[in-house]
Amino acid sequence: MEVFVQQVINGLTLGAIYGLIAVGYTMVFGIIGMVNFAHGDIFMIGGFTALILFLLVTGAFGFSAATVFLAIMVCLLLGMALTGLWSWAIEKLAYRPLRGSFRLAPLISAIGVSIALMNFVQVAQGARNKPIPPLLRDGIKLMERDGFAVILSYKQIVIFLVTATVLAIFWYVVQKTPLGRAQRACEQDGKMASLLGIDVDRTVSITFIIGAALAAVAGVMYLIYYGVISFADGFIPGVKAFTAAVLGGIGSLPGAVLGGLIIGMVETMWSAYFSIDYKDVAAFMLLAITLIFLPQGLLGKPEVEKV
C-alpha cells in the first residue's frame, strides 16, 4: 500500500509536468490545426534558461534559502518571458509563411526547427548533463510501515502549487478575457474571426507565446525535480506530452492536463510493478489503445468536416 501511495504522488508530479507541456501542443493545434513538434525543444530551452538564470542569481548572491527562493522566482518569470520570445520568433519566421501552404510543409518546418534548437543548445552548452545543487531535499512523512516511508517532498509540493496556479491563471485568460474570446473565435473559424475584426496573426503569435511560457514553467519544474538537464531532454518529454494531448483529446485543454496526469501515472506505476525498461512502451501502448477505441481522445470532440 505504501509503495502504491508513493507512486501515486510521483505519478501526479510527473503528470503535472507533462500536462503543462501538452497544453501548448493542444493550444496551437486547436487554433491553426498544426502539431508544433518543436514544442518539446521549447520546453528544453526553458529548462536551460532556468539553469543559466539560477546559476547567475546564486553566483551573485550566494546559496541560501532566501537566494534559492529568489532564483526560482527569477527562473519562472524571466524564463517564461525569454522562452516566449523564442517561440514568437519561431512562429514568425518558420511557421507563419507556411500557414497557407499544403499541410505537410509546416510539419517539415517544425521538425527542422526542433533539430536546429537541439543542435544549437548542444553547441552552445555542450553535450554533457548540466546539474544544479540539490534543492528542497526534505519532505513531509505521510505514513510509514515496515521501514518504508511515504514522503511528499517539498519540491513536489512546489510543483503541485505552481502548476495549479499557472493553469488557473491560464484558464482565466482563455475563458474570461478578450484574448481568450479571440482565441476561441479563431479556433472555430479563422476566416470569420478575421472578418469580424480579430487580428488572427496576432492571436496566433500570442498563443505560441503562452504555450511557450507554460513549457518554460514545465522546464523549471523539471529542473527542480530532477536537478539535471541536457540538450536531448526535449525529445522524450515532448513526445510524451504530445501523447498526453492526443490521449486527452487534441484541442481540449482539460484533456491535455488529464492526459498528462494519466501518462505520468502509467509511467510510474509500470516502473514500480513491472519493468522500468518498458515504461515508455506502456505509455505509448495506452495511446494506441485509446486511438483504436476512442479516436477523438478522452475529452475531445469528434471532428466535423466543414463545408
The answer, yes or no, to whether residue 218 has pLDDT greater than 90, is yes
The span from the CA of 208 to the CA of 36, in Å, is 9
Q: What values do phi and psi take at 242, rounded to 5?
A: -65, -40
Which pLDDT value is given to residue 160?
A: 92
* Per-residue pLDDT tens digits for 235-255: 888 888 888 888 888 878 888
How high does pLDDT run on average in the chain? 87
The span from the CA of 139 to the CA of 193, in Å, is 50
pLDDT band at 128 (very low <50, low <70, confident <90, very high): confident
Max CA separation in the chain (angstroms): 68
* Per-residue pLDDT tens digits for 69-92: 888 899 999 999 999 999 999 999
Cβ atoms of 300 and 251 within 8 Å: the answer is yes
Task: Give me the mean pLDDT over the 42-57 stretch.
Answer: 92
Question: How far is residue 61 CA from its own chain's centroid?
Answer: 30
Q: Which residues contact 241 (CB under 8 A, 6 or more apart)?
A: 18, 19, 21, 22, 24, 25, 39, 40, 43, 260
228, β-bridge pairs:
131
Which pLDDT value is given to residue 5?
A: 87
The answer, yes or no, to whether residue 304 has pLDDT greater than 60, is no
Cβ atoms of 86 and 168 within 8 Å: the answer is no
Q: CA 68, 69, 70: angle at the middle one, nearest 5? A: 90
Instruction: Find the range with the poorest average confidence among 35-49, 141-155, 162-176.
Output: 141-155
The answer, yes or no, to whether residue 306 has pLDDT greater than 70, is no
Which pLDDT value is given to residue 303?
A: 59
Which pLDDT value is given to residue 33?
A: 79
pLDDT band at 274 (very low <50, low <70, confident <90, very high): confident
Which pLDDT value is given to residue 293?
A: 84
The answer, yes or no, to whether residue 307 has pLDDT greater than 50, is no
Which pLDDT value is given to residue 133?
A: 83
Residue that wins the pLDDT comparison between 16 and 33: 16
